[in-house]
């Protein structure tokens, strides 16, 4: 199990390889990236702040909940903080399992809970304008469907 | 009773601090009791805490709410709903 | 859109990077791997055969169906053939979208349809024994839930 | 009428061939009509085609079934249910 909060970029290939093992049949990964100017958002940069000490604990708690629900061989969660430019990677969630469906569901579950529970905050820059991103109802909805 | 208070994101910007130590009278037993005291520290504190509906709370790095008990030495964090990922 | 059938390995990091763009908010990836001796399977090697000409057409058809269902920026499907050892990568499906849910759903949809529709066949080797893998009902079930 | 026939996986192993060209009488109009003719080619062919329930068919590289029409020059492929991924 790997949980990291860091300013440096991460290597999706290396993280995927690190989860490969003879007991693993599949690895589901999600890479979140910064949308930018050429999208509707018009964002020129993203600044990510977090709550050191609490963040890692929340990510470990989410990971433990995923392991309790699905037969997972291993999980990796990496989240970047600091100033990121459009196209850059923000977050990686990877879940390895003997079973494809478990890997997919666990990765999606972890992303949904990370979005609502992990103490990260984003500010978007558009030129000289800097604005804190508001939480979206769709993220609470996504989290809610796991308790159905 | 001394507590450590943390603020994040726009609450940090409004209060002008990410970390402060506050001395509180003995009647303060829960997170909600803290708020009127913190709101007097500055106009920025009052602004940050004016709408508690949109504020989240953690006590000693675990999620809580306005009813969560607080004791001397606790760390209480106030922040907006999270937006990572 | 990239569809490749090849004997060589692939680089998950490079494939993920190739899908990054300012209009992309997230990339969901699935890497299928060969389970091996240390799992219950006891497999020492896997041999993958396919129907050249038909395979690529089926993968493109599945990819087009995914694009018709979800707002996708780009999709990559790579499937290896030939003899693979435990722990090796077999398949990569990656879907990039502005929206996390669309990326996850599309990647899972493509994997489910690939499993039932793309003309690949696996033989498992256990020492000197070589046996063709039988299709699993659970794969038909996984495909079926998309038409609910 | 001349057709190209392909076999994959254990059907290829049973028939001993992955590709053959066969001449068929005029009455052959659908994939199902082919089967009795192919089954006479060898014991392996008969074995491969004995249980059509577990056999999949593609005509000119598109999925079909025993009712799919065939015409001169078509490529007909027989194979077990797929197991990739």
With CA atoms as reference, the chain C residue closest to D7 would be: C51
Q: Sort out which chain A residues have CB atoms less than 8 A from C32's CB and list them.
A: 25-26, 100
pLDDT at C37: 67
Does residue C24 belong to any structural domain of this protein?
A: yes
Question: Cβ–Cβ of B79/A121 closer than 8 Å?
Answer: yes
Give the residue numbers spanning the domain of C71: 2-134
pLDDT at A40: 64
DSSP annotation of C130: E
Does residue A109 belong to any structural domain of this protein?
A: yes
Does residue C142 belong to any structural domain of this protein?
A: no
Give the residue numbers spanning the domain of D15: 2-79
Does residue A143 belong to any structural domain of this protein?
A: no
CATH code of C100's domain: 3.90.1170.40
Does residue C147 belong to any structural domain of this protein?
A: no
pLDDT at A39: 64
Give the distance, in angstroms, between the CA of residue A51 and the centroid of all CA atoms in the same chain: 16
Calculate what percentage of chain A has a pLDDT beyond 90: 82
Confidence of residue C138 (pLDDT cuts 50, 70, 90): confident
Pairing relationship of beta strands C82-84 and C72-80 according to DSSP bridges? unpaired
Q: Sort out which chain B residues have CB atoms less than 8 A from A122's CB and list them.
A: 83-84
Q: Output phi, psi for C126, to 5 deg.
A: -125, 95
Does residue D84 belong to any structural domain of this protein?
A: no
3-state secondary structure of B44: helix
Name the residue among C90, C91, C120 with its Cβ closest to that of D82: C120
Domain total in chain A: 1
Question: Cβ–Cβ of A100/C12 closer than 8 Å?
Answer: no
Does residue C143 belong to any structural domain of this protein?
A: no
Does residue B24 belong to any structural domain of this protein?
A: yes
Pairing relationship of beta strands A129-132 and A89-97 according to DSSP bridges? unpaired
Q: Sort out which chain A residues have CB atoms less than 8 A from B82's CB and list them.
A: 115-121, 135
Instruction: Kindly report, residue by residue over C81-112, the tens digit of the pLDDT.
Output: 999 999 999 999 999 999 999 999 999 999 99
Question: Cβ–Cβ of A17/C12 closer than 8 Å?
Answer: yes
pLDDT at A140: 87
CATH code of B8's domain: 3.10.20.30
Query: What is the DSSP track for C40-103?
Result: TT--SEEEEEE-TTHHHHHHHHHHHHHHHHS-EEEEEEEEE-EEE-TT-EEEEEEEEESSHHHH
Does residue C144 belong to any structural domain of this protein?
A: no
Query: What is the mean pLDDT for each group of 10 consecutive residues in chain D (85 residues)?
Result: 97 98 94 97 97 95 97 97 95
């Amino acid at each position: 199990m790997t949980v990291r909060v860091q300013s440096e970029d991460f290597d999706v290939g290396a993280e995927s390889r690190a989860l490969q093992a003879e007991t693993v049949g599949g690895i589901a990964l999600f890479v979140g990236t910064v949308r930018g100017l050429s999208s509707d958002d018009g964002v020129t940069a993203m600044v990510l702040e977090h709550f050191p000490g609490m963040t890692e604990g929340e990510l470990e708690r989410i990971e433990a909940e995923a392991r309790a629900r699905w037969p997972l061989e291993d999980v990796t969660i990496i989240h970047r903080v600091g100033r990121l430019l459009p196209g850059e990677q923000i977050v990686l969630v990877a879940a390895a399992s003997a079973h494809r469906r478990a890997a997919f569901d666990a990765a999606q579950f972890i992303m949904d809970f990370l979005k609502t529970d992990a103490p990260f905050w984003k500010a978007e820059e558009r030129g000289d304008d800097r604005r804190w991103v508001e939480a979206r109802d769709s993220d609470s909805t996504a989290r809610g469907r796991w308790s159905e | 009773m001394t507590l450590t208070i943390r603020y994040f994101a726009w609450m940090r910007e409004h209060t002008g601090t990410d970390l402060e130590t506050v001395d509180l009278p003995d009647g303060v037993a829960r997170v909600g009791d803290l708020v009127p005291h913190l709101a007097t520290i500055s106009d920025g504190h009052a602004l940050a805490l004016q709408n508690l509906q949109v504020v989240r709370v953690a006590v000693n790095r675990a999620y809580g709410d306005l009813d969560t008990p607080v004791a001397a030495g606790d760390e209480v964090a106030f922040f907006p709903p999270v937006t990572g990922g």
